[in-house]
Amino acid sequence: MHSRVKKTIQDIQNLKIQGARNVAKAAILALRWQIQHSRARSLNALYNELLDAGTALAGARPTEPMLRNIIEDATRYAFLVLKKQARNIRDARRLMLQKEDELLQQMDRDVGQLAKHGAALIPDDSLVLTHCHSSSVTAILRKARAQGKTFEVAVCETRPLYQGRITARELAQHKIKVTLVVDGAMNLMMKKADIVLVGADSVTSRGDLINKVGTSTLAHIARLHDVSFYSAAELYKYSPLTFFGQRERIEERDPKEIWDRPPRGVKIHNPAFDVTAARYINGYITEEGIVPPQSLFAVASQKLKIKI
């Protein structure tokens, strides 16, 4: 396995690369590097290298179905190339690299479409409330501003790693009015909010959302105040395994993120994600449009070519 692939795995595990789409992009670029610099002398050896690298990358963040789905797409295509299309190593490399480039371009097109659909939901003269960091959410807000809409954004800081600061910084850089608030101010800000917009790490077959811990609290409070709650989720974030009864694992992060040296006898629980039930979600903003939670698995299965 190439050192660039190993470095990408470490960066994903250490959260130097954050956000489901950014993680998936980094994995595809790592696979591309593996193909370019492979020393394999046979088609089978090349495929095994790609498969090993893909398996290791997918395992770097087991709670990210977008990562798994995009790697599965790449390796499935690689198998097709080796069995039916490639005549030699050079030909296989060319076809595989072409596929990786297509996947990257598709991801950019998808988020562009998603941003367009999401921007249509942002009311003029409104307050948008968000949580954690999502490049899809910031893309929607940037698109809405480019359309001339006037709005402000309130961002929860999102402890313990403060990913909300990333969102606040990005929005400020794009001249969008933004206020950073502590997580405990969710209810206070919800009284002023017109819409809640969050990202997604995973979506189950039932339409439940798995996202940064605190998201479900935000959704419950939004329902109490009758504020619409939407999640920006490319269809690659659908987890097909949940259709067969498997649950997405809630990642437990290092306790030191919360308290480096806690007193003896203090136990620390640091879940990275929580689950928001479909009934609290008005819709998923996808590249195909606004999809009701109960319909997302069917729309995603069609795009991912999953036979149910």
The CATH superfamily holding the domain 120-303 is Translation initiation factor eif-2b; domain 2 (3.40.50.10470)
Both tokens of 154, joined, read: 């309130």
Given 73, 110, 132, 156, the catalytic residue:
132
Map tokens 């605190």 to a residue: 214
Amino acid at position 149, single letter = K
Residues of each domain in the chain carrying CATH 3.40.50.10470: 120-303
- Per-residue pLDDT for 36 more than 70? yes
Chain segment 234-266, per-residue pLDDT in tens: 999 998 878 766 677 788 899 999 999 999 999
Residues of each domain in the chain carrying CATH 1.20.120.420: 3-113
156: annotated active-site residue: no
What's the whole-model pTM score? Answer: 0.90
The CATH superfamily holding the domain 3-113 is translation initiation factor eif-2b, domain 1 (1.20.120.420)
**Distance between CA atoms of residues 151 and 165, nearest Å:** 19
Report the alpha-carbon angle 19-20-23, nearest 5.
85
Determine contact, residues 89/41, Cβ cutoff 8 Å: yes
Chain segment 275-289, per-residue pLDDT in tens: 999 999 999 999 999
Query: Lowest mean pLDDT: which of 37-41, 123-127, 232-236, 272-276?
Result: 37-41
**Distance between CA atoms of residues 10 and 14, nearest Å:** 6
Given 73, 110, 201, 208, the catalytic residue:
201
Task: List helix spans (H) across 61-134.
Answer: 65-80, 89-119
Chain segment 143-161, per-residue pLDDT in tens: 999 999 999 999 999 999 9
Look over the chain and give the mean of its residue pLDDT values, rounded to a whole number.
Answer: 92
